[in-house]
Structure 1
Amino acid sequence: MKTGVGRRMGGRWVIWTIGVLSVVGMVPAHTWSAGIVWPVQMPYEAPPKSDPVPDVSVAPNTKSLTPEELQRAEALLPLLEGKQEFWAMGEFVHLGEPSVPVLTKALTMPGPRVRYNAIETLSMIKSPGAVPALLEAAKLGSELPRIREHALRVAVRIDPQQAPPAIEAMAKDPNSVIRKAAAFEARYVRRKEVIQPLIDLLGDEEKFVAMSAVQSLWTLTRHEAEFHDWDASNKQDRQTWAQEWVEWWNQSKDTFELPEPKSRKQAG
C-alpha cells in the first residue's frame, strides 16, 4: 500500500493512503484495508461553562409620580412617534402603572402612530386601569380599523372581564373587519354576555365574520351543534344554521354555565 502526504489536523497527523484515510494512533495498522474508509470519532471537549449573567434590569416604578416625573411623562407623549419612539415607550414602561393616566391621553392625539404605540406600550405595562380607555378607542367609529383591533386585543389580554359591552357594540359595527375582531376576541372573554352577540353574527353578510363567531361559540360553550360546512356556506345557509343556536340559547341561557377551559395535556 502506498502512503501519500501527511498533514497535521486538530493536533494529530492524518496520513493519506490509496483508498484509506486513517488517523495515527486511532486505528490499528492491521485493520487497514485498501478500498475501505474507517470512520473515526474524534474526542469531544465540551466548551467551558460561562459565568451566570447578573440581572441588571430595572424594576418598573410602583410609586406615585412626583411632579417632576409627571412633567417628564407629559413631555414623552409626542415622542411616541419618530426616531425616539422606542426609547419613549421604554421610559413609560419604566415609569410603570402610575404613568397610565398620562399615557392614555395619547389614544386621542393626532397621528395614528402615536396612538398605536401608546396601545403597544399599555400592553407592556399591563394595567387594568388602562382597559376602559382602550375599549373606548376600540369602539370609536372614526378610528382606523387596525388601531381599533389592536386596542380591543390588548384590552382583552389585560382584563377580559371588562370587555363584554365593547364586544357587543363592535359586533354591530358597519365595518366587517371590526365585526370579525369582536367575534374573534370574544373567545377569550369567559362571560355569558358575549354569547348573544356571537349568535347574532352567525348570519353575517361576510362569511369570515360568521366563521369566527361560530368558532368562538364552540370554544366558549362546547355545544355540540349539528355539523355544517360553514366554509362553503352562503348568507342564506348561515342565517338558517344560526336559528339552531338561537333555539338552543333561548332554552339554555337561564341555566347555562360556561365550562372550564380545556387544559393542555402535559407531556408524559
Structure 2
Amino acid sequence: GKGNDQFRFEAIIRSMSDFKIIAPIREMNLTRTEEVAYVKEHGLDLAYDKIYSIDENLWGRAIEGDVLEDPANEPPEDIYEWTKSADDAKDTPTKVTIEFEEGVPIAIDGEMMGLVDLITKANEIAGENGVGRVDIIENRMIGLKSREIYEVPGAKLLIAAHRALEPLVLTVDELRFAEYMSTLYADLVYEALWQEPLREDIDQAIDHMQRRVSGKVVMKLFKGSMQAVSRESPFSLHSVEQITFEDKETDQREVEGMIKYHGLQAANYQKLNR
C-alpha cells in the first residue's frame, strides 16, 4: 500500500473494465518479513535471501528495502547484477557507435538490430564499463520519500547518445520544448496517468519533432563515466564554415547592434537599484 505500482495497475484496469479490484497484499497489511514468512510457509522458493524488493525487465532493475531504506547506508555490492563497480570495470576505455533513425536507436557499431537485441547489447556494453547505477531519493505518490537503487546501463547509454544527437539537429526552441515535454511526460507516467489524453498529445508532438533526429553518435565509456566524443547527422544544423575562426563571410561588426540592446531591461533595473 506504499508504492506507486498499485496506482498504475488500478488506473489501467479501471480504464479497460468494470472489474472489482482485489488486492490481497494491501488488504492483508503484511510487513515484508511477514510476507517472506508467508511465502516460505506455503513451500515457495525465493530468489533472494535478503529482504529486498526487486523489479526487473529489459529496461532495468529496481532494488529497494532492507539496508537500502536508510539513505545513510552505502548500497552493498551484492545487490547489483547488471553492472560492474567503477573499480572492477575495464581498465581501458570502450568506444561504441549508436545509430539513430527518427529518434529510435537502430544499430550498435554498425550492426543493425531490433530494439530488444539492441537494448540487451547496450546493457552489456555499459554494464561492463561500470555505467548505469542510480541511487536517488524519490517522492512517492502517497507523500513518502523513498530511497531507490536502479541498474539501467543500456538506458543510460542510449539516452546519453540521443541527447548528444538532438542539439545537432534541433533548434534551440525545439530543445527547450523537448526538455519541458520530457519532464511532463515522465511525471505523467510516474504518477499513473498513462491513460491521460495529454500523454497521447505529447507522443504526437515528440514523433513529429524526432523526424530529423537521425545520425550516429560515438560514446566513450570508462569506469563509470561516459561522454559523447563524436556525432554526425544528415540533418545537422551546425556549420563548420560559419563557426570557424577563419570565416570571412560573417561580418563580426554587425553583431554590435545586437549586443547593444541585449539585456537592456536588466541593465536598466540594475542602474535603478544601485
> TM-score band, normalised by the shorter chain?
under 0.3
Greater RCO between the two (CA within 8 Å, min separation 6)? 2
More helix, by proportion: 1
More strand, by proportion: 2
Structure 2-normalised TM-score? 0.19
Structure 1-normalised TM-score? 0.20
